[in-house]
């Protein structure tokens, strides 16, 4: 028998979803088309809507409805997806009810103003312009973490917002094994003396043609432009107002082919996830990804496992060469494959190679942990950032723009978000291993530019479930095991061997004995 209380519950979740979608539209506009002088007014608009959303989420009326549907769920009156929606709403209610209304308004306003300050600071390469805004956000996030509560580490409360159940204690050993495996592979490359040039990527490439090729490529992969669009922004991102309205952004440089193309493939991975969510979940808490780690697995799956594979460029390179016949004259698909997979330390995270990328994440993870725990202050960040870059990557940024100001995440208070990127790499490698087992002939299809069966596999196993399943549940159902770094290190070993022409790397040296990490 249908649950009347669930119908009342849906009325509330749909209203909340619409308000939050309106906030997302304003935020998207802020990053793309908003006039420079509108920052203060936009901050107030977003603060008002955020406060309204919070008021509705913690209202006594909504609490009573949630109590009713929890009883219906316990009595077997709800379908499985309905139970999952109620579970997520209860989680959201419990989190929101711990935050005073003044905190929600202060944070929304501070967040919007900080994004404006970050843009100016980044443009001028001057951290001092952003420092006060960042310090205010850190203060608010520390307060928020205390209000949410935690068992061992205050930073855990913020990580949990993006990867439910994950903690610093779980992440540290995974990151340590990744660092050790990365160092082994980097040492083998150095010892071999092999060199691969990426000069092919830094010639002159017309920006309009870059955007055109990138859009054609993601459409071929499966991003549906009937329900999505692409714009430019200072930092690439994907936002979804509904599965039928998904927005991607990228950025473009005339002397670097990687940023626009791989940035858009990455964001299209997010976008295809959003477009594939079960239609029943629209305007409920299930209409988003399982976690940011799983969401990043989808963007990194397409960007790296597919977009940086040799098979992919057997199909795509002739089309790219046709677009840029002068810049790519005389080059082969193999040349291009090797160029886009050069392993070398770099300053910019989103343009780092697959392997050293994780070192960028570890740096941010360690700084955030220290910052939220009060072990360092905002003023310490530029110098600490540079020291860690030198220690882990052997390079020192020349200025703040290519150092601690390069990422947008802190400007919107996204502390705890960065670990999701590396978790996404690990999940992506696990999922790709399984996809190859489940889809015989997959790599031949990729070489022919056929991606429909692969997208269908992702839709069936990941996308359609939205937030109905947790990360560990998905990983176990798909791969038969919990999160592990071992497939990623094996994948990187094989790729490095091919790119650098190395002999077989010792697997036992590269992939340290792996222990699962549940999320």
Active-site annotation, residues: 267
**Residue 509 CB contacts under 8 Å (≥ 6 apart), including other chains:** 184
The gap from C-alpha 366 to its chain's centroid, in whole angstroms, comes to: 18
Q: Which residues of 291-305 are buried (b: 16+ CB within 10 A; e: fewer)?
A: bbbbbbbbbbbbbbb
Beta bridge partners of 240: 246
d(CA 303, CA 268): 9
67 CB-contact burial (10 Å; exposed 0-12 / middle 13-18 / buried 19+): exposed
Q: Helix, strand or coil for residue 256? A: strand
Query: For 164-291, where are the alpha helices, taking DSSP H only?
Result: 168-192, 207-221, 257-275
Are the C-beta atoms of residues 246 and 227 closer than 8 Å to each other? Answer: yes
Report phi then psi at 292, rounded to 5: -70, -30
Strand order in the sheet with 245-250: 228-232, 245-250, 238-242
d(CA 495, CA 286): 36
Report phi then psi at 208, rounded to 5: -65, -40
3-state SS, one letter per residue, for 332-380: CHHHHHHHHCCCCCCCCHHHCCCCCHHHHHHHHHHHHHHHHCCCCCHHH
């Amino acid at each position: 028998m249908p649950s009347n209380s669930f119908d009342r519950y849906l009325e509330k979740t749909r209203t909340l979803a619409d308000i939050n979608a309106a906030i997302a539209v304003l935020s998207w506009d802020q990053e793309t088309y908003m006039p420079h002088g509108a920052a203060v007014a936009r901050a107030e608009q977003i603060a008002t809507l955020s406060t309204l959303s919070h008021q509705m989420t913690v209202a006594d009326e909504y609490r009573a409805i949630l109590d009713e549907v929890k009883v219906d769920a316990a009595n077997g009156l709800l379908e499985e997806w309905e139970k999952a929606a109620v579970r997520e709403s209860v989680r959201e209610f419990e989190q929101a009810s711990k935050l005073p209304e003044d905190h929600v308004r202060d944070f929304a306003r501070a967040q919007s103003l900080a994004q404006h300050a970050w843009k100016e600071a980044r443009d001028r390469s001057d951290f001092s312009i952003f420092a006060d805004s960042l310090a205010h956000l850190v203060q608010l996030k520390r307060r928020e973490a205390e209000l949410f509560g935690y068992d061992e580490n205050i930073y855990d409360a913020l990580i949990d917002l993006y990867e439910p159940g994950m903690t610093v204690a779980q992440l540290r050993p995974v990151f340590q094994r990744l660092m050790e495996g990365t160092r082994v592979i980097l040492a083998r490359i150095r010892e071999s003396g092999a060199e691969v040039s990426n000069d092919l990527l830094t010639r002159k490439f017309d920006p309009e043609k870059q955007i055109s090729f990138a859009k054609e490529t993601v459409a071929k992969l499966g991003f549906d432009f009937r329900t999505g669009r692409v714009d430019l922004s200072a930092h690439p991102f994907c936002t979804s107002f509904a599965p039928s309205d998904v927005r991607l952004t990228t950025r473009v440089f005339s002397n670097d082919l990687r940023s626009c193309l791989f940035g858009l493939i990455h964001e299209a991975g997010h976008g295809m996830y959003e477009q594939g969510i079960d239609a029943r979940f629209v305007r409920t808490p299930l209409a988003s990804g399982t976690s940011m780690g799983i969401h990043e697995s989808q963007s990194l799956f397409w960007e790296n496992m597919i977009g940086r594979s040799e098979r992919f460029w057997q199909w795509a390179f002739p089309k790219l060469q046709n677009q840029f016949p002068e810049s790519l004259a005389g080059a082969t698909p193999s040349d291009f494959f090797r160029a886009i997979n050069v392993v070398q330390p770099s300053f910019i995270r989103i343009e780092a190679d697959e392997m050293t990328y994780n070192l960028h994440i570890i740096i941010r993870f360690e700084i955030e942990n220290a910052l939220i725990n009060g072990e360092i202050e905002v003023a310490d960040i530029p110098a600490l950032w540079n020291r860690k870059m030198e220690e882990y990557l052997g390079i020192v940024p020349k200025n703040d723009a290519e150092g601690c100001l390069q990422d947008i995440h802190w400007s919107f208070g996204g502390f705890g978000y960065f670990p999701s990127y590396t978790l996404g790499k690990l999940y992506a490698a696990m999922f790709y291993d399984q996809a190859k087992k489940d889809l015989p002939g997959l790599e031949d299809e990729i070489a022919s530019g056929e991606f429909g069966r692969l997208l269908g596999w992702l839709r069936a196993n990941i996308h359609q479930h939205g937030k109905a399943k947790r990360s560990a549940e998905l990983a176990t159902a798909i791969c038969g095991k919990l999160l592990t770094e071992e497939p990623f290190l094996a994948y990187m070993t094989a790729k490095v061997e091919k790119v650098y022409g190395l002999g077989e790397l010792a697997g036992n040296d590269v992939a340290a004995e792996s222990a699962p990490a549940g999320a």
